[in-house]
């Protein structure tokens, strides 16, 4: 097997995550799809580290994980705050700024 297959897998997962972000309405599911995209990029980073024979790709993937954790914390806090005031977790409902 060619190690490049990991990159194809990462691409497929990234694209599935992107479709989820565009199509789903539930804010929590949208967040999960963003996590899926970040994980796919991590897989690409780890594969590149292996392909190039150095550890830097893994370190970058580690940093991506930390930033993703911070992003989840803030995002879920925003979702909880919106749910408290609007009683809804759908991304269609907060449309007060719409003309």
Residue 94 C-beta: closest distance to another protein, Å = 13
Site membership for another protein, residue 56 (CB under 8 A): yes
DSSP annotation of 96: T
Residue 21 C-beta: closest distance to another protein, Å = 9
Q: Under DSSP, is residue 62 helix (H, G, I), strand (E, B) or coil?
A: helix
Site membership for another protein, residue 39 (CB under 8 A): yes
Site membership for another protein, residue 67 (CB under 8 A): yes
Q: Return the half-sphere exposure (C-beta side, CA atoms, 13 A cut-off) of residue 73.
A: 6
d(CA 90, CA 79): 9
Site membership for another protein, residue 41 (CB under 8 A): no
# of chain residues touching another protein (CB under 8 A) = 69
Q: What angle do CA 45, 50, 55 make, to 5 degrees?
A: 75
Q: Under DSSP, is residue 26 helix (H, G, I), strand (E, B) or coil?
A: strand
**Positions in the binding site for another protein (CB under 8 A):** 1-9, 11-20, 22-26, 28-29, 31-33, 35-36, 39, 42-43, 46-47, 49-56, 58-59, 61-63, 65-74, 76-81, 83, 89-90, 92
């Amino acid at each position: 097997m060619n190690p490049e297959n990991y990159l194809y897998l990462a691409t497929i997962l990234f694209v599935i995550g992107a479709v989820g972000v565009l199509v789903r309405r539930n804010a929590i599911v949208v967040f999960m799809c963003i996590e899926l995209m970040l994980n796919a990029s991590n897989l690409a980073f780890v594969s590149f580290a292996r392909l190039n024979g150095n550890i830097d790709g893994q370190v970058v993937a580690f940093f991506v994980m930390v930033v993703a954790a911070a992003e989840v914390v803030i995002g879920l806090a925003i979702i909880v705050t919106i749910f408290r005031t609007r009683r809804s977790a759908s991304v269609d409902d907060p449309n007060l700024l719409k003309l």
